[in-house]
C-alpha cells in the first residue's frame, strides 16, 4: 500500500479509536510525524551492529523525538508522564505506528526494528499483547519476526514482575523478538534479587545494557561490581544476544570487547559512518 494511503488509513483508525477531531499523523519533509497535545512526535533511528564487525548493521533502534512547535528541544520523556493508563496505551501505540511508517523505506534490508514499549503499556493491557500492533505490521507488509519489542526493567516495577513477564511472553508467542534493558543506575539488591530472576524466567532474544552500567567493574572489592559481574555471567549463559550501548570512544570499544558483547550501538560508530557508510546485514545477529 502506498505511504500516503497508509497514513490516511491510520489517521482514520486512530481518530476513531481515540475520538480525535484532528488527524494525528502528517507528512513533514518526507517523514511521518504525529501529534500529542502541543508536541510534534518524530522518529530517529540508530544502527545496532555486530561487535566483531561494526560495519555490519543488523537492525535499527527507533527513538522517539518530541518537539514543541518551532522548537528543536527534545521533550520525549514528557510524552510518557501522563497519569492515565489509557493515555499511555494510546500514545505508545501511536508512537510505534509512526516508527513503523518511517522505517518502511529501509524495510527491504531485512534488519530488525527495535521498538520501545513502556512498562505501563504492558501492565495496562490485560491480554493478547501484540495483537493490536500485529495488524499495523501486516498492514505495512512486514512480519513480527523482524520487530523486537524492547522493554526497560527498572526498580519502579519490581513488584509487578509476574505481569511484565506475562506480557513479554505474549509478545514472544506471537513471534515478536524481545529485548530487555536493565536500569544502568539500579542498586546491587535489584540486580541480585530481580534482574537475574527476570532473565531466567523469560530468556529474551536481546539483553541491552549501557556501558556506564559496568563503570565500577574495575573495583573488585565493591559489592555492586561483583553483582554486576554475576549478572554478566548469567547473560552469557543464556541463548540471548548481548548488546552494549553508549559506545562513544575507543575506550568504550575496548570495554565492549572485554565484556564479550555480541552487538554494539553508539555515537562512536555513527561518526565513523560519516566517513564510510555501513553495510546492511540480513536478520540474524
Model pLDDT for residues 136-156, shown as the tens digit of each residue: 888 888 888 899 999 988 888
In a domain, 251, yes or no: yes
Give me the CATH number covering residue 105.
3.20.20.450
- Separation of alpha carbons 213 and 224, rounded Å: 10
Q: Identify the weakest region by mean pLDDT among 201-210, 220-229, 262-271.
A: 220-229
pLDDT beyond 80 at 72: no
Q: Does residue 75 sit within a domain? A: no
Q: pLDDT at residue 85 above 60?
A: no
Q: What is the mean pLDDT of residues 232-258?
A: 93
What percentage of the chain exceeds 70 in pLDDT? 86
- With respect to residue 248, please indicate whether it lies within any of the assigned structural domains: yes
Q: 126 pLDDT exceeds 50? A: yes
Give me the pLDDT at residue 183, please.
80
- Mean pLDDT of the residues in the chain: 84
The predicted-structure confidence for 7-46, as pLDDT tens digits, reads as follows 999 999 999 988 889 999 999 888 999 988 888 899 999 9
Q: Is the CB of residue 6 less than 8 Å from the CB of residue 140?
A: yes
In a domain, 14, yes or no: no
What is the reported pLDDT for 275?
A: 65
Number of domains in the chain: 1
Q: Is 27 contained in some domain?
A: no
Query: Is residue 118 very low, low, confident or very high in pLDDT (cuts 50, 70, 90)?
Result: confident
**pTM of the complete model beyond 0.85:** yes
Is 16 part of a structural domain of the chain?
no
Contact 120, 156 (CB under 8 A): no
Contact predicate 197/180, CB 8 Å: no
Asked whether residue 32 is assigned to any structural domain, the reply reads no
Residue 215 carries which DSSP code? T
- Domain membership of residue 141 as a residue range: 42-63+84-276
Q: What is the mean pLDDT of residues 265-281?
A: 78
Confidence of residue 88 (pLDDT cuts 50, 70, 90): confident
Q: What is the pLDDT of residue 222?
A: 62
Range with the poorest average pLDDT among 80-84, 106-110, 216-220, 251-255 = 216-220
pLDDT of residue 107: 75
Q: What are phi and psi of 58, to 5 degrees?
A: -100, -10
Ordered alpha helix ranges (H), the chain? 3-18, 76-79, 85-103, 119-124, 131-139, 161-173, 188-190, 196-202, 223-237, 250-258, 267-273
Mean pLDDT within 168-184: 90
- The answer to whether position 70 is within a domain reads no
Amino acid at each position: 500500500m502506498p505511504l500516503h494511503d497508509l497514513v490516511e488509513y491510520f489517521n482514520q483508525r486512530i481518530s476513531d479509536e481515540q475520538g480525535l477531531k484532528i488527524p494525528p499523523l502528517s507528512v513533514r519533509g518526507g517523514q511521518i510525524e504525529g501529534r500529542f497535545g502541543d508536541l510534534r512526535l518524530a522518529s530517529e533511528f540508530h544502527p545496532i551492529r555486530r561487535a566483531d564487525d561494526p560495519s555490519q548493521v543488523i537492525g535499527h533502534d527507533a527513538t522517539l523525538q518530541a518537539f514543541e512547535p518551532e522548537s528543536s528541544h527534545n521533550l520525549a520523556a514528557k510524552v510518557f508522564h501522563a497519569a492515565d493508563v489509557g493515555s499511555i496505551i494510546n500514545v505508545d501505540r501511536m508512537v510505534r505506528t509512526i516508527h513503523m511508517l518511517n522505517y518502511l523505506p529501509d524495510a527491504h534490508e531485512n534488519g530488525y526494528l527495535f521498538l520501545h514499549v513502556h512498562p505501563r503499556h504492558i501492565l495496562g493491557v490485560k491480554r493478547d499483547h501484540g495483537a493490536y500492533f500485529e495488524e499495523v505490521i501486516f498492514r505495512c507488509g512486514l512480519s513480527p519476526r523482524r520487530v523486537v519489542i524492547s522493554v526497560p526493567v527498572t526498580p519502579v516495577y519490581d513488584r509487578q514482575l509476574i505481569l511484565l513477564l506475562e506480557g513479554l511472553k505474549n509478545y514472544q508467542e506471537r513471534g515478536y523478538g524481545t529485548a530487555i534493558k536493565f536500569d544502568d543506575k539500579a542498586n546491587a539488591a535489584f540486580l541480585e534479587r530481580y534482574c537475574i530472576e527476570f532473565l531466567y524466567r523469560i530468556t529474551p532474544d536481546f539483553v541491552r545494557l549501557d556501558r556506564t552500567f559496568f563503570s565500577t567493574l574495575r573495583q573488585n572489592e565493591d559489592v555492586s561490581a561483583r553483582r554486576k559481574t554475576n549478572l554478566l555471567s548469567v547473560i552469557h549463559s543464556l541463548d540471548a544476544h548481548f548488546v552494549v550501548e553508549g559506545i562513544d570512544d575507543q575506550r568504550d570499544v575496548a570495554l565492549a570487547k572485554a565484556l564479550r558483547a555480541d552487538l554494539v550501538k553508539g555515537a562512536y560508530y555513527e561518526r565513523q559512518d560519516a566517513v564510510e557508510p555501513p553495510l546492511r546485514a540480513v536478520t540474524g545477529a
